[in-house]
């Protein structure tokens, strides 16, 4: 069964499907994985669900391709997530959260379970697994996991609440983005009542940056550029800058938001060098621009306000391709309304 809600508007969030509840109630062993370069929503959802299922007596393994970023290591259970391209053994259920299963980067051969369940809120998910619960109206996958845990009748404890709060908090940009709903705030309130500490999350996620990371940010922002109409701005992170500052790609998390914060900028682009002639692209839009079509063009994932992908070529050629595509998208959505540069 596949559930898919419309991508237009903010319809009511969907309840957890009955076949997911019965599959989880009837199973003994569960593997839970999330997407490459896991973010707060992916990890919070994974750990929250892991602890909930363990409370219900299930044997749970959490496994991802990439390690947990430093800023999320405060999450309870994060030390138990194993990493690498595969896991040994088979499981009754394999759950993929917050991504299309292909974006886990795991298991090039057969999936390691009979029952495959995909839970996600990204509109770009192809919903290919027989049990897919896809709700683009959900603020975060964490919100869907909250519903699922309630549907399973598992009482929320402090550690689960902290993980699910982190999921919703990070995917809403601290309850600032347009995906923030009364429902996501109500769920967050319930999670705080269950013991989640908002400051603990804020301090770890947004106020624990390393000195070298801010040093890198300064050098990256010094090279900022924008389109003549001021609607698109971008920055480039090169291997050379990583080397100069002793940083890695993980340190660029959130950089694109500084670029988007400029008045008049509708779309911000972060180019990150990932090879001699290869660049990873992250796009962030202000509320009214829809990037989901562009995400498909760039061959990556995304939703309304965020998209990404990887392109091969020299930096000038990749930049040209991306900025032109973003410009066409803005023209298609709003016409050629040039925003005068201040």
Return residues touching Mn ion (CB under 5 A). Answer: 41, 98, 141, 171
Give which of 247, 238, 258, 239 is closest to 319, Cα–Cα. Answer: 238
Cβ proximity to Mn ion: between 171 and 253 the closer is 171
Measured from the CB atom, is 38 or 77 closer to Mn ion?
38
- CB of 287: closest distance to Mn ion in angstroms? 17
The least distance separating Mn ion from the CB of residue 261, rounded to whole angstroms, comes to 21
Q: Nearer to Mn ion by C-beta: 241 or 295?
A: 295
> Least Å distance between CB 138 and Mn ion?
9
Instruction: Point out the residue whose Cβ comes nearest to Mn ion.
Output: 41
State the Cα–Cα distance between residues 173 and 175, nearest whole angstrom.
Answer: 6
- Pick 148 or 330: Cβ nearer Mn ion: 148
Q: Choose among 41, 31, 39, 48: nearest CA to 117.
A: 31
CB 114 to Mn ion: min, Å: 27
Give the span between the Cα atoms of 138 and 10, in whole angstroms.
9
Alpha-carbon gap, residue 340 to 64, rounded angstroms: 45
Query: Which position has the token pair 């019965």?
Result: 22
Helices (H), 229-283: 239-245, 255-260
Q: Which is nearer to Mn ion, 187 or 265 (CB)?
A: 187
* Nearer to Mn ion (CB atom), residue 136 or residue 309: 136
Question: Could you tell me the smallest distance in angstroms from the CB atom of residue 136 to Mn ion?
Answer: 11
Q: How far is the CB of 276 from Mn ion (least distance, A)?
A: 32
DSSP for 50-102, please give it: HHHHHHTT-EEEEEESSPPPGGGTTSTTGGG-EESS--SS-EEEEEEESS-GG
Q: Which is nearer to Mn ion, 16 or 41 (CB)?
A: 41
The count of C-alpha atoms lying within 13 angstroms of the C-alpha of 135, restricted to the half-sphere facing its C-beta, is 23
Is residue 197 within 8 A of residue 168, CB to CB? The reply is no
Provide, rounded to whole angstroms, the least separation between the CB of residue 252 and Mn ion: 19
Token pair recorded at residue 123: 């509109």
Q: Which of 251, 83, 269, 77 is nearest to 166 (CA)?
A: 77
Q: In what order do the strands lie in the sheet with 306-312?
A: 225-226, 232-237, 267-275, 278-285, 306-312, 302-303
């Amino acid at each position: 069964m596949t559930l898919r809600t419309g991508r237009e508007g903010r319809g009511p969030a969907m309840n957890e499907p009955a076949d997911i509840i019965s599959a989880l109630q009837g199973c003994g062993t569960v593997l839970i994985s999330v997407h490459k370069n896991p973010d707060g929503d992916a990890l919070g959802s994974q750990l929250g669900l892991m602890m909930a299922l363990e409370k219900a007596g299930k044997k749970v393994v959490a496994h991802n391709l990439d390690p947990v970023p430093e800023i999320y290591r405060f999450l309870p259970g994060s030390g138990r997530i194993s990493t690498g391209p595969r896991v040994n053994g088979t499981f009754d259920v394999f759950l993929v959260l917050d991504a299309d299963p292909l974006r886990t980067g795991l298991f090039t051969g057969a999936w390691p379970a009979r029952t495959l369940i995909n839970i996600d809120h990204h509109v770009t998910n192809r919903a290919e697994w027989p049990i897919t619960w896809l709700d683009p109206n959900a603020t975060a996958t964490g919100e869907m996991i909250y519903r699922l845990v309630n549907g399973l009748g598992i009482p929320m404890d402090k550690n689960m609440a902290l993980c699910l709060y982190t999921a919703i908090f990070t995917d809403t940009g601290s309850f600032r983005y347009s995906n923030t709903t009364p429902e996501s705030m109500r769920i967050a309130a319930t999670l705080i009542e269950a013991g989640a500490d908002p400051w603990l999350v804020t301090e770890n996620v947004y106020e624990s940056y390393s000195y070298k990371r801010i040093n890198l940010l300064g050098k990256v922002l010094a090279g900022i550029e924008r389109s003549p109409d001021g609607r698109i701005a971008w920055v480039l992170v090169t291997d050379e800058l990583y080397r100069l500052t002793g940083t890695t790609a993980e340190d660029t998390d959130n950089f694109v938001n500084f670029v988007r914060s400029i008045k008049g900028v509708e779309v911000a682009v972060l180019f990150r060098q990932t090879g001699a002639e290869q660049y990873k692209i992250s796009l962030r839009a202000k509320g009214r621009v829809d990037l989901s079509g562009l995400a498909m063009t760039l061959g990556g994932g995304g939703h309304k306000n965020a998209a990404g992908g990887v392109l091969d070529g020299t930096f000038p050629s990749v930049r040209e391709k991306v900025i032109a595509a973003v410009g066409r998208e803005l023209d298609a959505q709003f016409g050629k309304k040039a925003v005068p540069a201040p």
